[in-house]
């Protein structure tokens, strides 16, 4: 596993993970989505296209040159995003769907971004669900090097778990599919991977087409497909069955989701390594070339750009004091929480340095290391949140829960 940096940050390194992912503009050309409807409609595309200051612009062509990953997502034409049954395999489409779903339950100024938005235009929290399409993001990065979805996750999502952007009623509504005159958005179960296909997470046919396997390799690919189905079920098992209405509950949901992703990686890793070891140099070259052909629907994001830090969330200390009227003991617990939050921020920033040019098994190992960092960060914050929250009375808890929901971008 050459080029894999091992180890998680020691406390006290600096700054925040807010991924900004600008690919070469040429990679964004030729983005098209078409086909027959399966559950999300023009309304969803229109909402996403309004994100990021695109109001007032007019696009006449089906191909649009853009300068960043976020623009790639937001500049897609006004069509039904999920008209093809294979839309979930396209990172740009997944980001759009998640963005539309995340904003559907958020009440803020028309045309604004949600403040918890990732640098690529997607969202880590869609109502009570953390990391929509988690397994798809893992295999896109592992097989094809497309880190667009995977590397956007980090401190911003922990902050959004503490200072939730939704009200309680909004979170509850996400648990029941909502119909309207424009149709409906995908359910949380769909975004968790419950699409009826046990091997949806692994493009077996694409791999077979790329490498033209021998009999021995075909058997190894079948083993990987079976492991993929098991891994997909593991991640689906961490999909929320009820909305968490407290910071501690949301952080616990995050931890369950990340732990499920690590379990999935542990399942996939041995058969993937075995298959890759069986490939000859020409097959590995073909696999790389096949990945390069996918850029129209899966623009590659340079790893060096995926962990840049455009800014830092300001801890709302003044707002907490003004709304909660804390006593001295509560201020002490809040200070401890703020310190733990800063350490979590540092941990995630330190460990967001993916290497470029890795082979698929090495990328999977890198993804596993990144998830370790997220778990470390969560384990720093959760006890401090529990301790502080336990000191609050009911009125203070209610005030605390409104801080994130009232923010706009």
Residue 254 domain-assigned (yes or no): yes
Tally the C-alpha atoms within 13 A of residue 225's C-alpha that lie toward its C-beta.
Answer: 16
Name the one residue in this structure whose structure tokens are 């897609």. Answer: 76
Helix (H) or strand (E) holding 129: strand 129-130
- The confidence score (pLDDT) of residue 210 equals 85
Which residue range is the domain that position 259 belongs to? 25-300
Q: Give the rounded distance of the alpha carbon of 186 from its chain centre.
A: 16
- The confidence score (pLDDT) of residue 127 equals 93
Token pair listed for 197: 């296909």
Residue 334 makes CB contacts below 8 A (sequence gap 6+) with: 317, 320, 326, 388
Residue 115 domain-assigned (yes or no): yes
Residue 261 domain-assigned (yes or no): yes
- The confidence score (pLDDT) of residue 164 equals 94
Residue 7 domain-assigned (yes or no): no
According to DSSP, residue 130 is labeled: E
Question: What does the alpha-carbon distance between residue 178 and residue 183 come to, in Å, rounded to a whole number?
Answer: 8
Residues of the chain with pLDDT under 70: 1-86, 108-111, 177-185, 194-201, 294-312, 353, 408-409
Residue 10 domain-assigned (yes or no): no
Task: Name the pTM for this structure.
Answer: 0.78
Residue 388 domain-assigned (yes or no): no
Per-residue pLDDT of 251-296, as tens digits, reads 999 999 999 999 999 999 999 999 999 999 999 998 888 777 765 5
Residue 307 domain-assigned (yes or no): no
Q: Give the rounded distance of the alpha carbon of 294 from its chain centre.
A: 20
Domain count, the chain: 1
- The confidence score (pLDDT) of residue 375 equals 96
In DSSP terms, 129 is beta-bridged to 126
Per-residue pLDDT of 79-98, as tens digits, reads 345 555 567 777 888 888 88
Residue 324 domain-assigned (yes or no): no
- Number of C-beta neighbours around residue 284 at 10 A: 15
């Amino acid at each position: 596993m050459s080029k894999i940096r091992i180890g998680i940050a020691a406390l006290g390194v600096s700054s925040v993970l807010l991924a900004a992912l600008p690919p070469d503009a040429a990679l964004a050309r030729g983005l098209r989505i078409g086909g027959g409807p399966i559950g999300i409609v023009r309304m969803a595309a229109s909402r996403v296209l309004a994100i990021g200051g695109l109001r007032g612009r007019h696009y006449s062509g089906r191909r649009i040159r853009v300068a960043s990953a976020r623009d790639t997502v937001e500049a897609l034409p006004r069509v039904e995003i999920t008209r093809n049954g294979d839309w979930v395999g396209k990172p740009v489409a997944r980001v759009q769907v998640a963005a539309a779903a995340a904003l559907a339950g958020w009440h803020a100024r028309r045309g604004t971004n949600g403040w918890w938005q990732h640098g690529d235009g997607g969202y880590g929290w869609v109502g009570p669900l953390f990391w929509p399409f988690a397994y798809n993001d893992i295999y896109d990065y592992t097989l094809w090097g497309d880190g667009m979805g995977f590397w956007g996750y980090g401190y911003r999502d922990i902050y959004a778990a503490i200072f939730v952007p939704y009200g309680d009623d909004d979170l509850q509504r996400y648990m029941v599919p909502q119909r309207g005159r424009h149709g409906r958005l995908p359910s949380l179960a769909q975004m968790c991977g419950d699409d009826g296909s046990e091997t949806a997470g692994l493009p077996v046919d694409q791999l077979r087409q790329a490498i033209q396997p021998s009999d021995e390799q075909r058997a190894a690919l079948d083993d990987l497909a079976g492991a993929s189905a098991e891994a997909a079920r593991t991640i689906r098992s961490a999909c929320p069955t009820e909305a968490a209405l407290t910071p501690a509950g949301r952080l616990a949901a995050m931890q369950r989701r990340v732990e499920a992703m690590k379990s999935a990686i542990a399942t996939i890793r041995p058969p993937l390594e075995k298959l890759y070891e069986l490939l000859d140099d020409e097959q590995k070259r073909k696999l790389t070339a096949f990945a390069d052909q996918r850029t129209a629907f899966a623009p590659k994001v340079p790893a060096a750009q995926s962990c840049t830090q455009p800014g830092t969330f300001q801890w709302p200390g003044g707002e907490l004091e003004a709304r909660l009227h804390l006593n001295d003991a509560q201020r002490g617990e809040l200070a401890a929480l703020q310190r733990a939050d800063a350490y979590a921020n540092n941990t995630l920033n330190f460990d967001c340095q993916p290497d470029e040019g890795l082979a698929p098994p090495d990328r999977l190992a890198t993804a596993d290391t990144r998830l370790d960092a997220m778990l470390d960060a969560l384990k720093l914050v959760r006890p401090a949140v529990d301790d502080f929250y336990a000191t609050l009375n009911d009125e203070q808890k209610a005030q605390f829960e409104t801080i994130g929901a009232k923010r706009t971008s």
